[in-house]
């Protein structure tokens, strides 16, 4: 019978995808070895953190837009839907081993990850 190789942790794709679940796994992956030495995981972790910061800023805009009848409500809905779609694309691409660079945020993440 062949000897089994022990599992040392998450695969790169799994760690990259999990970085988008919340900002907490992203921070953990930036601190814990061996994940903090992998440029792909670091890119996804940084992009997740920057996306979270952008979503928080958009939430403030969302609240302000809710005070504007109809047009504000529609814009607020579109912003929220846009963030949801970008977040889902990031997760799917990361689990698939691909890198999706969110405009503005992606290059910042690549610079921080050293990619």
Q: Where are the domains of the chain?
A: 12-109
Say if pTM beats, i.e. exceeds, 0.95.
no
7 band by pLDDT with thresholds 50, 70 and 90: low
Q: How confident is the prediction for the chain on average, in pLDDT?
A: 90
Q: What is the pLDDT of residues 41-82, one digit of tens each?
A: 999 999 999 999 999 999 998 889 889 899 988 999 999 999
Q: What is the mean pLDDT of residues 85-110?
A: 96
Is residue 5 scored above 50 in pLDDT? no
* Tokens 């900002």 sit on residue: 23
The CA distance from 20 to 26, in Å, is: 7
- 48: exposed, middle or buried (Cβ count in 10 Å: 0-12, 13-18, 19+): buried
Q: For residue 32, what are its two tokens?
A: 């814990």
Q: What angle do CA 61, 93, 15 make, to 5 degrees?
A: 95
Q: Which conformational region is residue 88 in: left (phi greater than 0), alpha (psi within -120 to 50 degrees), or beta?
A: alpha
């Amino acid at each position: 019978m062949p000897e089994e190789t022990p599992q040392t942790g998450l695969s790169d794709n799994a760690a990259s995808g999990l970085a988008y679940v919340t900002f907490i796994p992203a921070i953990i992956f930036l601190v814990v070895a061996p994940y903090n030495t992998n440029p792909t995981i670091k890119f996804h972790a940084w992009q997740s953190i920057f996306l979270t910061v952008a979503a928080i800023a958009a939430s403030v805009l969302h609240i302000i837009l809710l005070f504007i009848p109809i047009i504000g409500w529609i814009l607020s809905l579109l912003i929220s839907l846009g963030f949801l779609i970008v977040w889902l694309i990031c997760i799917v691409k990361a689990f698939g081993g691909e890198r999706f660079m969110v405009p503005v945020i992606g290059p910042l993440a690549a610079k921080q990850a050293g990619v």
